[in-house]
Structure 1
Amino acid sequence: MRRFLRRPALVLSLSSIPLIAGCGGEDDPEASRFAWLATRAEEVRELSFEREVPVRTVTRAEVDAEAEQAAGAIEEDDLAALAATYGRLGYFPPDTDLRGVFGQSRDLAAAWYSPNDKSISLIGEVDDYVIIHEYVHGLQDQHFDIGGLLDDTLTSDAHLALRAALEGDAMLGEVRFLMQEENDADLDQLNWGLLIDAARAAGERILEENELPALFIDYPSFAYGFGFEYCAHNLSGASAALPAPGRPFPFDWSRQDALFTDRIPATTQQILTLDGQDPVVRVGLEEVPSELADRLEALDWDSLGEWLSYLLLRPLDGAPSLGDMRALAATWDGDRALFVRDRQTDATGTVWASAWDDPAAAAGIEAALWQLYGGAAIDGSDPRLGRAEDGELVWIERREEHVVALKNVDEALMPALAEAAFASGIKPMRLTLRKRPSLAAWLSRRLPGLP
């Protein structure tokens, strides 16, 4: 597979803003440079460091060796569980070399900040604005506890939304730094439309140019481009649709602070719609219904959200009768995936319930899922029951704007399990304890930190 990604924050190089050279003192140029950049990060982000953030430099070969070692240390059972759940749901073929995928995971950054080590790592020589970006992550961590915030996210959807806010905020800091250093100007003079378009385009190129399954580039394809626009709109009022700032300058950076305190974004749709989404519909199951508990055991649950729903359906984009998967995913109103184990056969099955804007959108999802699984109804059987291309049983059913899809569940259990999923058994504001981190959180932990 291709070594897959330049650091996505480098979308800034697509703009008209030139890069800058570092500066330092005569006695210890490197220490002077880092001290100056730390001060500049405080100024552009309008927060102060509570303690020093150590900076180390490593080589690409060292990072690659660490990545290979980390991939080799992943338990085989964890890889098998990933294939049996999210692979079965449709994100990647079951024969994907997952260990090889994780071995490439650190080839995406020029630098990163580690919430665990509270330090910055640079891969070789990097530009000053890259270091500013990492120092902003350090400021975020010292003031808002990045690690704690990420650990508190219960779903993959919520995890990606928070990471988009973190990355967008750090990108604002580096853009402001470049404007001040190179143009003797500030964000009131920024061409917001140009940078937002460039950031979006970079995320799309990540999806188009990489051979990895899209699930494994969920974070870089989403967090930088859409996170930047979300934070730009939050701070200044600018957006792709209306690139002129809608708030007076100087901008109030406490609005950014609030994204990590009392206005933490909860869904990727909230990021994509710039806080314009409708209330999320509670749908699906977080646990096995009591009447089926003698046969089925809950392994895990998740909410995919708009972005991961799009990545699931993206391979079908442009297929006859299906149309634009991005537009279809934008009709997301809520979802819940439950992964179960059959106590008798030890088979793993998937239960994905979802809600969409209207019956027409749900019908599009229903048709897309049949194509995703290569499924066809079994002659003479219930039309909701079919067999996937891989031979496993599927049950795909729509009721108005809701869709339930089951895969690899005992045929005798499917009607009752689907009925329970349609019944929306999730309690309001329920905080279910997780047996393990959400998928997005687990994938993020395979990375060294926040690039």
Structure 2
Amino acid sequence: MNRSFERIALLVGLSVIPTVAGCSDEPSEEERRFARLAARAEQVRELSFRRTVPVSTITRGEFEADQEAAAAAAEEADLAEMAATYGRLGYFAVDADLRATLARSRDWAGAWYSLESEEIVLIGDVDDAVLIHEYVHGLQDQHFDLAPDQDDALTSDAFLARRAVAEGDATLAEGRFVMQERYDADLHLVDWGPLLSSVHARREELLAGSELPLFFMAYPSFAYSFGLEYCAHNLTGVSSESPFIDRLPPFDWSNEDALFTTRAPASTQQILTLDAQDPAVGVGLNEIPSALGERLEQLDWDTLGEWLTYLLLRPLDGTPDLGDARALAAAWDGDRALFVRDRKTEAVGTAWASAWDDAGAAAALESALWQLYGGSPIDGEEPRLGRASDGELLWIERREERVVALKNIDEALMPSLAEAAFPSGIRPMRLTMRTRPSLAARLSRHLPGRHP
């Protein structure tokens, strides 16, 4: 009998303050259900609650109204900066209607655990497995502290990696609950091959069917499918390539605990390769070169990582200049995106430096970037300098396995800024702390708020 999970919920731990359900002297049927499932969550995840996690329910209409209200409340300056930085980098048009995008960016959600209020909110009627998933997020938070301020210190790449562990772990426990409740069995009897194939197929359906810029699908497209496989591999030894457990049950769930503490993953590549990622490569730009400091002001910086690099390149998948976008993204070795403002002109520009497995992969990226920006060289004497289809200046340069792409930077500054991104210009990498959340972390918190 096929023991694959009958459902893998694409749900997310969003951050809101829900309306708390009322209390009475006698527990209602709903409250008894919540208590029973909280106890079952403790059993399948092998952790104990330290305090009660309240649960409330809203309608789909209320959720959609709150999404629209949260998007309407977004600061115009924040939206403009998002468009001027990540939009200019190539994820969406600089003039895209990001307010409307934010209003629809959580349409796929069905429930969430709030890291800020430490409560669960359900959207309409949900089955027991969904509630188990959210209760496990509560257990994770109480034992390993999933506080939003920890997310704020992470790059977009690291944020997705950490959230893949949270979602994968919760989905794994949810699946264990389904196996026990419906089949009186456990994870060692799951038919992992069809299950993992189904989960990854659903991810592709999500991306292919998205009407939103793919950056806004980064969380659901990555955290659930790859997070599940990563956690299942960590606990049982299975993988898509070898869907068979390599250890005897009962499985040791302290191995899952370690993914939140001593073995927390640092990159999406680590998740994608099941810990077989390439060694980390230091990549400029770490900061604005001192010689350019009088002209350029740093707005922000980020690391995209393998998955967000893939989403950037995915619209070019299959084209002659790129070929297989997933295969190219898998050759990623490191990157740094720097967003700057020209103090003289107020123009916002982007600088993206990246390292690749070999010169062939770097050459493929170099060609793809010209296509991504619809760019062409201005003259034959300087092939690195060009103009994008939107009229902005480009500088795209490759040296062996390294590539740097500059957009909307003053032409006189481009050679020096590009030089700083290559090994000859890179100073010893110092620890750089984020002073604001990455875009991936910000989007996870740009959510509706429900107040009593």
CA distance in 2, matches of 1:179, 1:150: 33
CA distance in 1, matches of 2:448, 2:403: 37
Deviations 1:243-271 (A, max 9, x none): 00112211110010001101111100000
Shift of 1:298: 0.6
| 1:207-226 equivalences in 2 (<5 Å) | 207-226=207-226
Match of 1:5 in 2: none
CA distance in 2, matches of 1:154, 1:206: 25
**For the Cα contact (< 8 Å) 1:395–1:407, is it kept in 2?**
yes
Match of 1:377 in 2: 377
**For the Cα contact (< 8 Å) 1:297–1:341, is it kept in 2?**
yes
Aligned partner of residue 176 in structure 2, secondary structure: helix
Q: Which runs of 4+ in 1 moved over 6 A?
A: none
Aligned partner of residue 262 in structure 2, secondary structure: coil
**For the Cα contact (< 8 Å) 1:41–1:135, is it kept in 2?**
yes
Letter in 2 for 1:408: N
Letter in 2 for 1:292: L
| 1:65-76 equivalences in 2 (<5 Å) | 65-76=65-76
CA distance in 2, matches of 1:163, 1:202: 18
Match of 1:139 in 2: 139
Match of 2:130 in 1: 130
Match of 2:120 in 1: 120
Letter in 1 for 2:303: S
Letter in 1 for 2:74: I
Match of 2:412 in 1: 412
Match of 1:167 in 2: 167
Letter in 1 for 2:426: G
Aligned partner of residue 170 in structure 1, secondary structure: helix
**For the Cα contact (< 8 Å) 1:41–1:136, is it kept in 2?**
yes
Shift of 1:402: 0.4
Match of 1:20 in 2: none
Q: How many residues align?
A: 428
**For the Cα contact (< 8 Å) 2:66–2:448, is it kept in 1?**
no
Shift of 1:328: 0.4
Tell me, yes or no, if structure 1 residue 425 matches structure 2 residue 417. no
Letter in 2 for 1:30: E
Shift of 1:212: 0.4
CA distance in 2, matches of 1:447, 1:60: 14
Shift of 1:285: 1.3
CA distance in 1, matches of 2:322, 2:434: 35
Tell me, yes or no, if structure 1 residue 316 matches structure 2 residue 320. no
Shift of the 152–64 alpha-carbon distance from structure 1 to 2, 3 Å rule, reads closer
Match of 1:10 in 2: 9
Shift of the 83–27 alpha-carbon distance from structure 1 to 2, 3 Å rule, reads closer
TM-score (norm 1): 0.92
Match of 1:293 in 2: 293
Deviations 1:335-385 (A, max 9, x none): 000001000000011110000000000000000001001110112441100
- Among all aligned residue pairs of Structure 1 and Structure 2, give the percentage whose two residues are the same amino acid: 67
Shift of 1:61: 1.2
**For the Cα contact (< 8 Å) 2:321–2:371, is it kept in 1?**
no
CA distance in 2, matches of 1:426, 1:313: 29
Shift of the 94–152 alpha-carbon distance from structure 1 to 2, 3 Å rule, reads closer
**For the Cα contact (< 8 Å) 2:284–2:335, is it kept in 1?**
yes
**For the Cα contact (< 8 Å) 1:270–1:277, is it kept in 2?**
yes
Match of 1:79 in 2: 79
Please provide the CA RMSD for this pair.
1.6
Deviations 1:79-131 (A, max 9, x none): 00001000000001122110001111332211100010100001111000000
TM-score (norm 2): 0.92
Shift of 1:154: 2.2
CA distance in 2, matches of 1:112, 1:158: 21
CA distance in 2, matches of 1:426, 1:71: 41
Deviations 1:159-206 (A, max 9, x none): 000011100000001000000000000011111112211111111111
**For the Cα contact (< 8 Å) 1:85–1:350, is it kept in 2?**
yes
Shift of 1:436: 1.7
Higher relative contact order, structure no. (Cα contacts within 8 Å, ≥ 6 residues apart): 2
Shift of the 311–143 alpha-carbon distance from structure 1 to 2, 3 Å rule, reads same
Tell me, yes or no, if structure 1 residue 179 matches structure 2 residue 153. no
Letter in 1 for 2:414: M
Shift of 1:149: 7.1
Shift of 1:431: 3.3
CA distance in 2, matches of 1:420, 1:165: 35
In structure 1, the gaps of 5 or more residues are: 1-7, 13-25
